[in-house]
Amino acid sequence: MAMKEYLKEAIQQALSQMDGVPEGFEPELEAPRIAQHGDLATNCAMQLARHLRRAPLQIAEAIAACLVLDADRIARCEVVRPGFINFRFSKRHLYQSLAACLAAGLQFGRSRKGQGQRALVEFVSANPTGPLTVGHGRNAVLGDTIANLLEWIGYDVTREYYFNDAGRQMRVLGASVRGRYEQLTHAAGVATKMLRTGTDAEVVVPASFPDDGYLGNYIITIAKALAEKHGDALLTAEDEAPFTSAAKAAIFETIKGTLQRLGIVMDVFFNEQSLYDSGAVAAVLEALRDTGYIYQREGATWFKTSALGKDGDTVLVKSSGEPTYRLPDIAYHCDKIGRGFDRCIDVFGADHIATYPDILRALRLLKLDADRVEVIIYQFVTLLRGGKEVKMSTRKANFVTLDALITEVGADVARYFFLMRSAKRHLEFDLDLAKEASDKNPVFYLQYAHARICSIADKAASIGIETDASEDFSLLVHDAEVALIRQVVRFPSALSAAALAREPHRMIGYLREVAEQFSQFYHHCRILGEPRQIARARLALALAARVVLANGLAVLGITAPTSMERREERP
């Protein structure tokens, strides 16, 4: 990164000696796709061709002629075909960066880009009506990893879970538990009826069970616990409250346990109800009213979104007097901004696509800085079992819980699978592949490279070969060695690119390349058994690769094992 800045300045210096360069022109530097072209390249000559009315190649040559570069840092600078200027780092620079990597160790890759900035990442935010599903898993892992990425570039990050434990949903939940409880505790038994699950299976439920009640077995578990604790004393309860609160507590316990298995710990659980209790919801509605974009019609309160670029208007308070979700959502975002967060990142499933534009409209009307709000929409997860799609619905009880998924494939594989694709694409999660063919799973490739380096380091130590950051790296000249150094040294910029884009999958791609470069190095360049100085230098390089793998996996929330179960001998 420092190198990029250095070259940018050098180029600007050269450009300042030329006529006709537009004011404020900034040269761009990129790593060429093809390694042969160098470490960094600029296309600025081609961009300037229009303004200077000269051939790009000529301009590039003129720039190159004016460039003053430190030979200690840049070994080569060449002008090629259409008008690129390619730069190649000096070996010395690479060796210095390698030493820096080893010296920084577990801190390598951390930066201060976000220093002094506070970010709130809101994710999961599932209401306590049932266990987390596979869909929540993608949300949870994405949110947590984005939070990790932000922390690594210096942000002060708060992980927040927003939930609603009031309203119709919870009443139905309570009534469902009550129905099951009556079924369990009525000595004489209760009348029953049939309901259908999402897969059309029939379920026998008590007659008092709501038709749209929750059919999952976890409801029965909760009812059983109540029966054990209270006997049949709750049969005379006046309302669903004891059932609802027991259900809520039990379900939250389950949810927290599931998140913990994935290594996720929330900082704040934010209850929507608190926004009503504090008067924040009412205050926001009043403030919006003052903007003139609120009106009454047929007993409901409307937000005039049609005047703000939307197709129609939006109800904020129903004629029943009950607010829709929009209103507390708006109040919640006002609250977040009010708490002083510089970035408010929401991780939402694709089904929420329609809600956030309204929130942003409201924030702007209220003169709040809506630009602080970033919404990350991820597409749905398709779960495949036996090559067939598994359909999911919490209420209808045919879902695969996130817990079951973790048990089946393990937390590391689960995290990896949820992160390996761009959030904006549908994710195909093939259970059979994740589990049965785990030896083909790329997460093991990364972990294996790490474990292998640990093994080599142990063996080296046992025969008295140790190393530190002050090796003579100039002994590392093999193509595979230099390629690995290049890859390792890129880690900080790869990390910050992933963080700034909020795209964890980039980190996975980068780490896969690290493991690949390491494997090539490992096969081409022996460490143990070589002359001592070479062994030490190569060991140091391997340890640098280990640093990057360990730190990269830490960002992704995946463990970096020091050893892995040995496989059976190959035939």
One-letter identity of residue 271 = N
Name beta bridge partners: 202.
Answer: 196
- Cβ proximity to RNA, 30 vs 239, nearer residue: 30
Q: How far is the CB of 233 from RNA (least distance, A)?
A: 29
We find the least distance from the C-beta atom of residue 266 to RNA, in angstroms, to be 20
Element (H, E) at 541: helix 532-556
Least distance from C-beta 51 to RNA, angstroms?
Answer: 11
Tell me whether residue 214 or residue 341 sits nearer to RNA (CB atom). 214
Smallest gap from residue 467 Cβ to RNA (A): 13
Q: Do strands 300-303 and 294-297 pair parallel, antiparallel, or not at all (unpaired)? A: antiparallel
Q: How far is the CB of 215 from RNA (least distance, A)?
A: 16
Closer to RNA at the Cβ: 341 or 418? 418
Task: Compare residues 192 and 519 and give the one whose CB is closer to RNA.
Answer: 519
Cα separation of 347 and 327, whole Å? Answer: 19
Whether the CB-CB separation of 113 and 496 falls below 8 Å is answered with: yes
DSSP state of 213: -
Sort strands 294-297 and 268-271 into parallel, antiparallel or unpaired. Answer: unpaired
CB–CB of 202/385 below 8 Å? no
Minimum distance, C-beta of residue 107 to RNA, in the bound complex (Å) = 26
As measured in angstroms, the least distance from the Cβ of 235 to RNA is 27
297: which residues sit within 8 A by CB, 6+ positions away? none
Question: Do residues 98 and 489 lie in contact, with contact meaning Cβ atoms separated by under 8 Å?
Answer: yes
| Cβ-based nearer residue to RNA, 260 or 455 | 455
Contacts of 2 (CB under 8 A, 6+ apart): none
Task: Tell me the β-bridge partners of 41.
Answer: 30, 86
Taking the least distance from each CB to RNA, the nearer of 388 and 567 is 567
Strands of 427-430's sheet in order across: 388-390, 381-385, 427-430
In whole angstroms, the minimum distance from the beta carbon of 231 to RNA comes to 31
List the alpha helices (DSSP H) in 41-120: 44-52, 56-66, 91-104
Q: What angle do CA 12, 16, 18 make, to 5 degrees?
A: 120
Comparing CB distances to RNA, the nearer of 402 and 465 is 465
Q: Considering the complex, state which of residue 234 and residue 484 has its C-beta at the smaller distance from RNA.
A: 484
